[in-house]
Amino acid sequence: MRIFSGIQPTGRKHLGNYIGAIQQYVAGQDRGEAIYCIVDLHATTVPYDPAELRTGVYDLTATLLAAGLDPERSILFRQGDVQEHTELSWLLCSVTPLGELNRMHQFRDKSVTQRELVSAGLLFYPVLQAADVLAYRADEVPVGEDQREHLELMRDIARRFNARFGEGILKVPEHRIPEVGARIMDLQDPTRKMSTSGSTAEGTVYVLDEPGAIEKKLKRAVTDSANPPEIRRGPDKAGVSNLIDILAAARGTTPAEVEASMAGARGYGDLKAAAAEAVTELLAPVRERYQQLRADEEHLESVLEAGAGRARAIAAPTLADVRAAMGVGPNR
């Protein structure tokens, strides 16, 4: 079983990214052949700073390695290093309906809020994403609920390609949404997802936050005014539910187990303190390893380079098949 996922090298990674994506990546190493791609090319579809993009790739590489991604057991690489992605994205354009691209929610949202140039790259973002996965004939794509539309389009592109150019050339991948931590909410506004852009500074725990900052943010988390306080999940208890989910994910248990373990608690203070402790225990070692890893850019670059070589060895034969089926280039 081959797993593929892509992750943006922009923005500080937060607890929601850590639980919803990064931990899943690490776990993927035990479930199959795992391939993870740092998508620098996707990052060029919105206004960005070139120097920051490059350092962002190193920041993310160091974060992923610090979290336990093992470049011996999985393939970790930078998208821009493997030209098969860009070539395949162009070839896939021939079976991508323009109307579908226009309808994508992410494109619509970004193109209306963006005050600067809305680039064609933003519209074609999902085609490049399809190429990322299809180049590897991956079976499974672990990504959040917000990527559902992009995954459906990718599957549609693969099916259309096979129908037009030959059955079995591309693999139609499955979407896998992580059950745990798929929705870590903002600690100050638990009706909103913890996110890079849309959440509050005080309500967002960053992977690289110092223990003191983590504790402060969790201890100030919004709960509710139930009297007596009730430590249980429920649709009417967004803040408390979020803390229970966070604690469960940080401890590696289930929300039900957290509820049971909190049966003797005196109030929400106990829940917040337990969450602060568990999240600190989870992230403090990552932060320490990050600092060591981030200091050695040459090493990070050599990890990415080795990953790109291994990625290319898988993607190149797919491209050869796609080109041959499409009549592109000489007949070999």
- Dump the DSSP string for 231-270: ----TT-HHHHHHHHHHHHHHTS-HHHHHHHTTT--SHHH
Q: Using CB under 6 A, which of 135, 141, 248, 249 touches ligand TRP?
A: 141
147 binds ligand TRP (CB under 6 A): yes
Q: Which residues, including other chains, have CB under 8 Å from residue 248's CB and lie 6 or more apart? A: 180, 254, 255, 257, 258
For the chain, the first-to-last Cα distance in angstroms comes to 30
Q: Which two tokens stand for residue 315?
A: 């993607």
Residue window 284-313: x/- pattern of binding to ligand TRP, with contact defined by CB under 6 A? ------------------------------
Residue whose token pair is 């491209």: 319
Residue window 29-58: x/- pattern of binding to ligand TRP, with contact defined by CB under 6 A? ----------x--x----------------
Give me the residue whose beta carbon is nearest to ligand TRP: 6
Neighbours of 256 (CB within 10 A): 12
Q: Which two tokens stand for residue 144?
A: 């959040």
6 binds ligand TRP (CB under 6 A): yes
Closer residue to ligand TRP (CB): 124 or 268: 124
Closer residue to ligand TRP (CB): 60 or 185: 60
Q: Using CB under 6 A, which of 45, 61, 63, 129 touches ligand TRP?
A: 129
How many CA atoms lie less than 13 Å away from 54 in the CB half-sphere?
A: 4
Q: Which stretch binds ligand TRP (CB under 6 A): 59-67, 69-77, 128-136, 323-331?
A: 128-136
Instruction: Give residues in contact with ligand TRP (CB under 6 A).
Output: 4-6, 8, 39, 42, 129, 132-133, 141, 143, 147, 150
